[in-house]
Structure 1
Amino acid sequence: MRKRVLATLMTAAMAATLFAGCGDSAGTDTTAAGGDTATATEGGSTEAAGGDYKFEIIVKSYQSSYWQAAVKGIEQEAEAKGVTVNCTGPNAESDIADQVNMLNNAINNAPNGIGLAACDQDACLDALQAALDAGIPVVCFDSGIPNAPAGSVVSTVATDNYSAGATAAENLYPALKDKIGDGQVRVGEVNQEATSESIINRGLGFIDKFAELAKADGYTVAVVGNEKYVNDSKAETVSESEADIVIEVAVPAQTTVELCATEASAIMNKSDTIGMFGSNQIAAEGILTANENLGVLGDKILAAGFDAGSVIKSAVANGTMYGAVTQSPLVMGITTVDVLCDAAAGKSVSDVPTDGYWYNADNMEDPEIAPNLYD
């Protein structure tokens, strides 16, 4: 049922006139008149908000089309609900201190609620306590904050990122099976960082599921590279020298396509590499950028990505990238506004999981997939 509601909402959302983004990094107000329109979300809300609510909403960055799509959903639903939203966000997801300052400023503005896509799991904890003390409900979206002060985050609207990472492994592993078993092979994973809940869980979901599938076929696995992912993985592993498959995890110093490309190149240049996974748009585009010089994807190495965007979609369509998992940032933005309205009205709210979908050249035009493939 939830998928049918999601598909209906995505179709309506994509057909509607989408509004311009909130700006490069400075906040802008979007004030809507009226507001008696009923809307449906994955959380089941079908009531217009009513009231004169103002929400502060902070995204992770304006660096990618993913966040631009989320902002469109936010603004679209603010118009439908008759509420005001002020969207802000740092220039890059690595600008953690800037986002914390934006959150503190949002609290000082005393809104009816705050939507937050946190760049870092722990950097916002003091600010969240301040929001709780001020009686301002916070709805996290895209990424949760597991260590948030009790009661400060009333709902998290996010893809089940661990499951979504596992989906990438479930589709990439069968395509690589014929290359496993005749000497040690390597699968690379590029994560843009090791601080946000969404990226960490996607990376771990891929590692753990790939290792599980390999074990079921009688192969041993080693996980090497970035300590956060190595230490937090639940995969049953052996030492690198004993492994049939080495999963090598790389994280750049900053969240840029260029630095992700540098990390990807180092893995893709190794003669035993057969597969790659990029856990978000920036990481996946980094893998594709690395391939511009190497020319190994689609033949020697099969790559899976995450998110959409014109670069990734084109690579999937022409076979350079084997496939990718996409979210629906538009629906995530819409749902965040709905939950904020319910929280501001004093209604009981809870976490709202959203779906991830595997797409490749064969299903990109399917009705359940196409609306998720934002530019």
Structure 2
Amino acid sequence: MDRLSRPHSRRISPVVAAAAAAALLVAGCSSGSGGKKADEAGNNISAGKATTPRMTVALITHAAPGDTFWDTIRKGAQTAAAKDNVKLVYSSDPNGPNQANLIQNAIDQKVDGIAVTLAKPGAVKGAIAKAEQAGIPVVGFNSGVDDWKKQGLLEYFGQDETIAGEAFGRRLNKVGAKHTTCVIMEQGQVALEARCAGVKKTFRGKTDILYVNGTDMPSVKSTITAKLKTDSSIDYVTTLGAPFAMTAIQSIADAGSKAKLATFDLNKDAVGAIKSGKIQWAIDQQPFLQGYLSVDALWLYKTNGNFSGGGAEAVLTGPAIVDKSNVEKVAQFAAKGTR
């Protein structure tokens, strides 16, 4: 699929982090016997699974109840945890102070590592500092590409949302769009705000921002429908998550609008809608990879002292555009819930 990145960016590909993990595994795996061997770092690996001492990782997100996007991140994290002999403890809360409390709970449980999203970085800053003071390594993922270094996190895995938004805006120009409404399902969430800001920056047409309550899908549907009924000049609806795109399809029909739809993020339903032409394209940030790399990175750091990007550069997992030209390549993975 098409890769989109800022020219001369020093941020590195996820391949670098994955290669480090693969090097440890290949060094320690038996060539067909399925037996146990020690890698060069002295870590025992049996049948492709680490037998290093059991460690506990807390994965803490800002997921709202019912948002299926996070299921894919959890699958990635669970896959890495199974490989690395990690006990994974997952928790989430869209409320910033509550998310900070979850970080404190992880500190109190004396976990070996924390992977956290920085959707509302100011709210969790103090809790992250306490984790670092307690000697617990912390990595960021999904949200907070502009804040992770400021807060002293070890690594970051995710998409640069500004770059993604700018790519989306250029795509709108390419298809000749004139007026889009960018639907934000959580006001003040830095990644979502950055996406729409990026769209507005590069899109030569008019960009409206429409805030909806992402935890109430019937309300999302009615709000988008009302917007389209009020303004017939809107020719593209921009949604920031696959479930919201599927709801927007219904809104467009209910409003009798001729607007087309494009979205950020994927799931199985969105892939089907791209095939049928109900969604024109999606920006894929590869959430499975974000979850996987976050857990694997903490294991690598604990067992071998590795960290990606020299501690100064984020590992970018997106953006990539999925449309009719390449959706079949993604569909087989989406069917398994990993894209």
Could you tell me the TM-score, scaled by structure 1's length? Answer: 0.69
Q: Higher RCO, 1 or 2 (CA under 8 Å, sep at least 6)?
A: 2
- 2:217 matched residue in structure 1: 257
Matched residue SS, 1:88: strand
Match for residue 198 of structure 2 among 205, 208, 215: 205
Q: Distance in 2 between matches of 1:264 and 1:144?
A: 28
CA deviations on 1:311-360 (whole Å, 9 max, x unpaired) are 32232222122221122111111111121123334434433111222122
CA deviations on 1:11-36 (whole Å, 9 max, x unpaired) are x9xxxxxxxxxxxxxxxxxxxxx755
Q: Distance in 2 between matches of 1:158 and 1:256?
A: 26
Matched residue SS, 1:321: coil
- 1:273 matched residue in structure 2: 234
Deviation at 1:125, TM superposition (A): 1.3
Q: Distance in 1 between matches of 2:163 and 2:131?
A: 31
Following superposition of structure 1 onto structure 2, how do residues 91-130 of structure 1 map, counting pairs within 5 Å?
A: 93=94, 95-130=95-130
| Cα contact 2:75–2:288 (8 A) shared by 1 | yes
Matched residue SS, 2:297: helix
- Percent of aligned pairs with the same residue? 20
Following superposition of structure 1 onto structure 2, how do residues 143-222 of structure 1 map, counting pairs within 5 Å?
A: 143-144=143-144, 146-147=146-147, 150=150, 152-177=152-177, 180=178, 186-210=179-203, 214=204
Matched residue SS, 1:193: coil
The letter for the 2-side match of 1:251 is Y
Tell me whether 119-128 or 146-155 shows the greater mean CA deviation: 146-155
Asked if residue 363 in structure 1 is aligned to residue 326 in structure 2, the reply is yes
Deviation at 1:294, TM superposition (A): 2.0
Q: Distance in 2 between matches of 1:108 and 1:304?
A: 43
- 2:141 matched residue in structure 1: 141
Q: Report the count of equivalent residues.
A: 296
CA change 1:372–1:49 in 2 (3 A) is farther
- 1:294 matched residue in structure 2: 255
| Cα contact 2:185–2:211 (8 A) shared by 1 | yes
Q: Distance in 2 between matches of 1:274 and 1:324?
A: 17
CA deviations on 1:20-64 (whole Å, 9 max, x unpaired) are xxxxxxxxxxxxxx755669xxxxxxxx68343211111332523
The letter for the 1-side match of 2:186 is E
- 1:77 matched residue in structure 2: 80
Q: Distance in 1 between matches of 2:45 and 2:189?
A: 34
CA change 1:149–1:142 in 2 (3 A) is closer
- 1:327 matched residue in structure 2: 285
Deviation at 1:253, TM superposition (A): 4.4
Asked if residue 68 in structure 1 is aligned to residue 71 in structure 2, the reply is yes
CA change 1:343–1:4 in 2 (3 A) is closer
Deviation at 1:254, TM superposition (A): 4.8
| Cα contact 1:142–1:157 (8 A) shared by 2 | yes
Q: Which runs of 5+ in 2 are unaligned?
A: 4-11, 23-43
Matched residue SS, 2:54: coil
Matched residue SS, 2:74: helix
- 2:206 matched residue in structure 1: 246
| Cα contact 1:165–1:279 (8 A) shared by 2 | no
- 1:347 matched residue in structure 2: 306
Deviation at 1:167, TM superposition (A): 2.4
Q: Which runs of 5+ in 1 are unaligned?
A: 13-33, 40-47, 181-185, 215-244
- 2:61 matched residue in structure 1: 59
Aligned-pair RMSD on alpha carbons?
A: 3.1
The letter for the 1-side match of 2:254 is N
Matched residue SS, 2:262: strand
The letter for the 2-side match of 1:131 is A
The letter for the 2-side match of 1:366 is K
Deviation at 1:151, TM superposition (A): 5.4
- 2:132 matched residue in structure 1: 132
Asked if residue 308 in structure 1 is aligned to residue 301 in structure 2, the reply is no
Q: Distance in 1 between matches of 2:119 and 2:219?
A: 18
Q: Distance in 1 between matches of 2:48 and 2:165?
A: 34
CA change 1:151–1:3 in 2 (3 A) is closer
